[in-house]
Structure formats: structure tokens, C-alpha cells
Amino acid sequence: MKLYNTRTRGVEEFAPLRAGEVRIYVCGLTPSAQAHLGHARSFLFFDVLRRYLAHRGYRVTYVQNVTDIDDRSINAARETGEDYHAIVERYYAEFKEAMRKLGVAEYDHEPYATRYIEPIQAMIRELVAGEHAYVARDGIYYRVSTFASYGRLANRNVDELEAGARIEVDEQKEDPLDFALWKFAKPGEPEWPFEPYGAGRPGWHIECSAMARALLDPAGKGFDIHGGGADLIFPHHENEIAQSEPLMARPPMANFWVHGGLLLFDNRKMAKSLGNFEPLCDLLARHDPQAIRWLFLQTGYRKVMNFTEDSISAAALGLARIKAAYRSAAPTTDGELEGSPELDARMEAALDDDLNTAAALAVLYDVVSREAPSRERLAYWLGVLGVAPDESWLEEPAARLAPDFIDRLQRALREARIDAAHEAIEGATPLEAIERVVALRDDARRAKDWPASDKLRDALQRCGIDVKDSKEGSSWSVAASTP
Ligand SMILES: [Zn+2]
């Protein structure tokens, strides 16, 4: 399998450091506010990566931390008067529920920074002993000048970085690039004792270095994959490397550094200040979570991706095609997982290529349009992509319609004076009838016959069928409140 490595800036053949085993650390959420879809994108990608590595036969250990002590959660606690633990727990529980809906598998380890204070302090002691860190009036800082390859991950030189850095008025550091490992206690903030230096709390960067070492690499010989969103490359991941590697028996800290691309919303970053903020849990209430996942799978994980309401409708349409194929596929009779050598080979070729999920979806579309893979094999590969079919996939979408659906649709079409449509559904099943009317409406739209298109949509709607349009075509669903 080939994977893009930020550390070497190239696509490389992936091989684990220990035979048969892959160790992954991904920087997790800072639950100081509600999560949005941008937060979720890279977590969804890493979920597919670990599922695929498991398919390839590796035993995967996946760690994703929780930054449960942070300036932002402390500020939120100060503003609302609520305990910061309660704030973190609430937002994190909401995030985990969203991940569950999106089909993200449970992590093997989910370390909370505040439960790793001892390993964090041990690491700071070692850095101070090696003169990589120094004690200032307001905290303990990392001395960047002691780490010769600082800036290598971000591909930036120190002079350039120095020019962009600054010292905040309340910071007592030697150099603008130096960063805090430990912040001495301030009144009203959570604090932990730390002899002989002084009580306080850890900085964000050292938390990840210490938790990764404790859980994946106590021997200091490196682990396989360190991941996160592309916005974490600098300074967070650069700083993790600077803290970890001087203490290691055999650097690098991680063999592969893997980063997911950013997500834009209507071509802008999502932010409360821009007025386009939608919490992840609200978005998941409006859309099928599997369709959201499908949308991410359609785009290469490293590309900047633009999310629009249209793009989610198109993804839902694509997923509906696969669901229909799944419904009509024959279950394997002997109950065994019957391999489908062609499907397997093509899916592996796509995913071996730097986890090209867009190519993998193209393979699925192609396979279901030409042949009938067994339902189990299709389900297997959908599972690798994290879109596992459930009971609802076998339900005919038209099963929830009233028994007299055809009569009612015919009446509605007759009243709308659309004879062609009325004739087209003569003798059809409900499913065929809907497909035919939607196709006629697509024809009308292409011919820019908007009155006919509107009438056909109204007729369907009156019979409990919602039609959604996007650039790629129209999709339909049975309305939630079917008459
Ligand atoms: Zn981190």
C-alpha cells in the first residue's frame, strides 16, 4: 500500500515497523465548544485508513486523544461559571455520539490529557535535564534552538518561522519560537502540583508527545503513523517532534505523518464569526450520516473539499444506487463469505493507491452496473469504507407507501393534465412508477419545461414522495410523514 508521507513529502510504500502490527496516533478533539463537520473530516479518513489496514491483515492499535485541558475550555468555564470538566464532558459526549452515527469505530485508546499528568511531567523533567527546556517566571518553555531540524515537517526554515512568531506580553520566554511545556498556576485555573518547579498545567503540544510515548512507544523507537488535520502540521506536530525526538533511542517519532485536507463550507471556513457555523449534531439530524460519509469518500482525503447542500444531495443519490444494487443482489446461499476476486482486486488497487476512496466508489458503481456481486461481498467492502449496510438497506423504499399509492398517483397526474405520465405508469409497481415519473420530470427539466417539471413534482409530493434536485440529477425519498 502506498501512502503520502508529509515527513518526506512523497507517496511511499507503507511498511510497518513491527511485522504484522500498525500503531497509529491521531490528534483528537479539544472539546471546548460544539464540533462541526470540519472537525470530523480527518477523523472519518483515519477511520477508513485503519479499517483498510485491518483488511490488509494488520493488527491496528489506534489512539485518539482528548485535549481536556486547554485555554479555550478554561475561558468557557470562566464565562459561563460552569465547571470546565462538565463543559469538556458534555461536548465530548456529543462528539462521540456524532462519530457513532457516522460509523466511526471505537478507538483502542482514548487518553484524556488530565489523566496523563505524570508521564507529561516525566517528559518535561527529561527535557529540562537535557537543556532542551528552561524554567521561566511564568512557566517551563521548550528551547527551539536546541533542535536542529525544527521546521522540517512543515518544510519551513527557522528564520522564516522566527519572523512570523512573537512573544505575548505575558510570556517570559527567551525566543519567539519557544513554546510552553508547563504553565504555572494562575488564580481560578485548574492546577496540578509539579515539584520542584511549581504547580500549573501542561501545554497542548507536550500532552500528545507524552501520551503517544506512553501508549505506543515506551522504548523510544518510533511508531508507524501520526495523523491529524493539515492545520496541525505547524506548530503542533512540529513541536511534538521537537519534544519527542531528542529523548528517543531511535527517531523519527513517527515513520509516516499523514494529514487530512481542510473542509470549506460554500468556499469559506466554518466559523461562528462568519455566521456559517452549524454544529455537527444538527447537520446529522438533517442528513443521512451515511450520505455524509459517502460525500467524503468521493473526494481524495488530502484535497481541500467544499461542502454544499447540493454536494450532499448528489452523494445521497450515489449511495441510493448502491443501496438498490445491494437490495437486488443475491445473498450467498451457503452463508460463507464468497470471495469475488475481480471486485477484491480492483478495490485493493484503488485503496492501495494512497487510500483513493473516490476510485474505490467508482469501482463499486461499475461493478454493480455490470455484474451482480454477492450481497455479502458488497457489504464487506462497504464495511471497509465504514458504510455498513443495516436492516433499512433491504427495505424497499416504496414499502412504506399506502396500498392505493398507484391509484392516487394516477389521479394526481390526471388532475395535473399530464397524459404522458399517466400512461407511463400504467401497470407499474409503485417503485417503477416513481422512477418513471422522476425520469419524465428530468426530461422536462432538461427541456427547460419548468411548468411540467413543477406539476410532476407536485403530483409526487401529494402522494408522499419528496424529490431533491442537484447538478447531478434528481433523487427521491418517501416523505417522513407519508399520507
Ligand atoms: Zn496532538
Provide long-range contacts, Cβ within 8 A and 24+ apart, for 108-112.
108/60, 108/61, 108/62, 108/63, 109/61, 109/62, 109/63, 109/64, 109/215, 110/28, 110/63, 110/64, 110/65, 110/66, 111/63, 111/65, 111/66, 111/211, 111/214, 111/215, 112/65, 112/66, 112/68
- What is the pLDDT, as a whole number, of residue 321? 87
- What is the pLDDT, as a whole number, of residue 109? 98
CA 155 to the chain's CA centroid: 25
Q: What value does the mean pLDDT of the chain take?
A: 91
Q: How far is the CA of 205 from the centre of ligand 1 (A)?
A: 6
> Pick from 430, 284, 303: which is nearest to 354 by CA?
303
Is the Cβ–Cβ distance between 391 and 413 less than 8 Å?
no
- What is the pLDDT, as a whole number, of residue 483? 42
Weakest-pLDDT range from 60-64, 150-154, 220-224, 389-393: 389-393
Q: How far is the CA of 185 from the centre of ligand 1 (A)?
A: 22
Q: How far is CA 283 from CA 98, 286, 294, 377, in A?
A: 10, 5, 15, 31
Q: How far is the CA of 214 from the centre of ligand 1 (A)?
A: 14
Q: How far is the CA of 242 from the centre of ligand 1 (A)?
A: 13
> Pick from 367, 340, 294, 287: which is nearest to 48 by CA?
294
pLDDT, tens digit (0-9, with 9 covering 90-100), for 430-454: 888 888 898 899 888 889 999 999 9
Residue 370 in this model has a pLDDT that exceeds 90: no
Q: Could you tell me whether strands 179-184 and 139-142 are parallel, antiparallel, or unpaired per DSSP bridges?
A: antiparallel
Residue 313 in this model has a pLDDT that exceeds 70: yes
Q: How far is the CA of 154 from the centre of ligand 1 (A)?
A: 15
Residues 232-260, mean pLDDT to the nearest whole number: 97
Does the structural domain 2-265 have CATH classification 3.40.50.620?
Answer: yes
CATH number of this structure's domain 287-394, picked from the four choices 1.10.150.120, 3.40.718.10, 1.20.120.640, 3.40.50.740: 1.20.120.640
C-alpha cell belonging to residue 34: 460544539
Band of pLDDT at residue 482, cut at 50, 70 and 90: very low
Q: In the chain, where does the domain assigned CATH 3.40.50.620 lie?
A: 2-265
Higher local confidence (pLDDT), 148 or 39: 148
Residue 170 CB neighbour total at 10 angstroms: 8
- What is the pLDDT, as a whole number, of residue 337? 55
User: Sign of the C-alpha dihedral, residues 14, 18, 19, 22?
Assistant: negative
Q: How far is the CA of 46 from the centre of ligand 1 (A)?
A: 14
Q: How far is the CA of 237 from the centre of ligand 1 (A)?
A: 7
Q: How far is the CA of 236 from the centre of ligand 1 (A)?
A: 6
Q: How far is the CA of 163 from the centre of ligand 1 (A)?
A: 24
Residue 435 CB neighbour total at 10 angstroms: 16
**Amino acid of residue 146:** T
Residues 293-306, mean pLDDT to the nearest whole number: 93
Q: How far is the CA of 28 from the centre of ligand 1 (A)?
A: 7
- What is the pLDDT, as a whole number, of residue 333? 58
CA 337 to the chain's CA centroid: 29
Residue 277 CB neighbour total at 10 angstroms: 15
Q: In the chain, where does the domain assigned CATH 1.20.120.640 lie?
A: 287-394
- What is the pLDDT, as a whole number, of residue 312? 86
Residue 276 in this model has a pLDDT that exceeds 90: no
Q: How far is the CA of 107 from the centre of ligand 1 (A)?
A: 15
Q: How far is CA 245 from CA 23, 217, 290, in A?
A: 17, 12, 40
Residue 366 in this model has a pLDDT that exceeds 90: yes
Residues 418-424, mean pLDDT to the nearest whole number: 81
> Pick from 356, 299, 362: which is nearest to 1 by CA?
356
Maximum mean pLDDT: which of 242-256, 311-325, 361-375, 459-473: 242-256
pLDDT, tens digit (0-9, with 9 covering 90-100), for 329-358: 877 655 455 567 889 999 999 999 999 999
Q: How far is the CA of 26 from the centre of ligand 1 (A)?
A: 7
Q: How far is the CA of 304 from the centre of ligand 1 (A)?
A: 21
Q: How far is the CA of 39 from the centre of ligand 1 (A)?
A: 14
Is the Cβ–Cβ distance between 38 and 48 less than 8 Å?
no
pLDDT, tens digit (0-9, with 9 covering 90-100), for 45-85: 999 999 999 999 999 999 999 999 988 888 888 888 888 89
- What is the pLDDT, as a whole number, of residue 44? 96
Residues 468-480, mean pLDDT to the nearest whole number: 73
Q: How far is the CA of 159 from the centre of ligand 1 (A)?
A: 24
Q: How far is the CA of 234 from the centre of ligand 1 (A)?
A: 11
